[in-house]
């Protein structure tokens, strides 16, 4: 039986030039293609009211949270820092509800970049609203203008982790974030870090809670880096 993967969708609201003024629901094509290639059936979940999250989760086997906007800081008890970038509160509320329901219904979650950060917030953790607030910051985590298929910095992976089975002890990743995990939620563990100490992957302390988050973007490299595709295979077929 094919595994149905619900991919939480994003929105393009300011789309006058590209979509003739229409608002657009979307997800990056890399997620769709990687899930399909791994044998899964991708289904984009458009942003909606929190009340519909339970119905969406009941119709899928696993949940995928993509990257995108910053997370509204009031969800972790802070006012917006001057370096906070675009947020979408409707998306935050909907995806927080999806996370809650996926955990309640025991559905596995794979989260990328913003998605990993949002899981931490959903479970009681906090974020650095900008890496300039992190005193040990010494690695470039936003790799522009380098193209996404090229890995730019290293990570070290904990041996006692699902991620270790895919990548081994060390790996190099692409990087597109200016926010990062600050206080870690008590139910999570960090399973990979960059050399300056930033959390690059998280998993649940409870082995029965099937949850994996990565800070980089495997959907932008899976077709050129075999281990990145193995990560999607692991998510679709094992997590």
Predicted pLDDT at 43: 98
Instruction: Walk me through the domains of the chain, giving residue ranges and CATH numbers.
Output: 4-237 (3.40.50.880)
Q: Which DSSP symbol is given to 2?
A: P
Q: Is 86 a catalytic residue?
A: no
Q: Which of the following is catalytic: 113, 141, 177, 203?
A: 113
Rounded to whole angstroms, how far apart are CA atoms 234 and 146?
28
CB neighbourhood size of 145 (10 A): 4
Q: Which of the following is catalytic: 95, 200, 217, 228?
A: 217
Q: Is 113 a catalytic residue?
A: yes
Predicted pLDDT at 16: 60
Block residue for tokens 């696993």: 62
Rounded to whole angstroms, how far apart are CA atoms 123 and 99?
9
Indicate the pLDDT class of residue 17, thresholds 50, 70 and 90.
Answer: low
Q: Is 217 a catalytic residue?
A: yes
Helices 114-122 and 89-104: angle between axes, nearest 10 degrees: 70
213: which strand partners? Answer: 111, 202
CB neighbourhood size of 86 (10 A): 9
> The tokens of 22 are what?
């229409």
Block residue for tokens 């972790």: 76
Q: Which of the following is catalytic: 200, 203, 219, 228?
A: 219
> Tens digit of pLDDT for each residue in 43-88?
999 999 999 999 999 999 999 999 999 999 999 999 999 999 999 9
> Tens digit of pLDDT for each residue in 120-137?
999 999 999 999 999 999
In 195-208, which positions are buried (b, 16+ CB within 10 angstroms) versus exposed (e)?
eeebbbbbbbeeee
64: which strand partners? Answer: 7, 110
> Tens digit of pLDDT for each residue in 175-225?
999 999 999 999 999 999 999 999 999 999 998 999 999 999 999 999 999
């Amino acid at each position: 039986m094919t595994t149905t993967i619900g991919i939480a969708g994003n929105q393009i609201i300011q789309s006058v030039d590209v979509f003739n003024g229409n608002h657009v629901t979307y997800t990056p094509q890399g997620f769709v293609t990687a899930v399909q290639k791994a044998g899964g059936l991708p289904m984009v979940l458009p942003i909606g009211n929190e009340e519909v999250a339970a119905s969406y989760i009941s119709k899928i086997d696993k949940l995928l949270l993509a990257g995108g906007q910053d997370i509204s800081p009031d969800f972790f008890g802070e006012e917006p820092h001057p370096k906070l970038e675009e947020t979408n509160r409707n998306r935050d509320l909907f995806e927080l509800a999806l996370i809650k329901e996926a955990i309640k219904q025991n559905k596995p979650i794979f989260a990328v970049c913003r998605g990993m950060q949002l899981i931490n917030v959903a479970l009681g953790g906090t974020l650095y609203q900008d890496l300039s607030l992190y005193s040990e910051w010494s690695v470039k985590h936003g790799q522009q203008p380098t193209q996404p298929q090229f890995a730019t910095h290293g990570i070290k992976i904990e041996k006692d982790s699902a991620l270790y089975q895919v990548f081994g002890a060390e790996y190099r990743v692409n990087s597109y974030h200016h926010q990062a995990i600050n206080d870690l939620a008590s139910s999570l563990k960090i399973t990979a870090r960059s050399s300056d100490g930033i959390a690059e992957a998280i998993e649940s302390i409870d082995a029965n809670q099937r949850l994996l988050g990565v800070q980089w973007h495997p959907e932008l490299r899976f077709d050129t880096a075999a281990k990145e595709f193995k990560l999607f295979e692991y998510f679709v077929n094992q997590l």
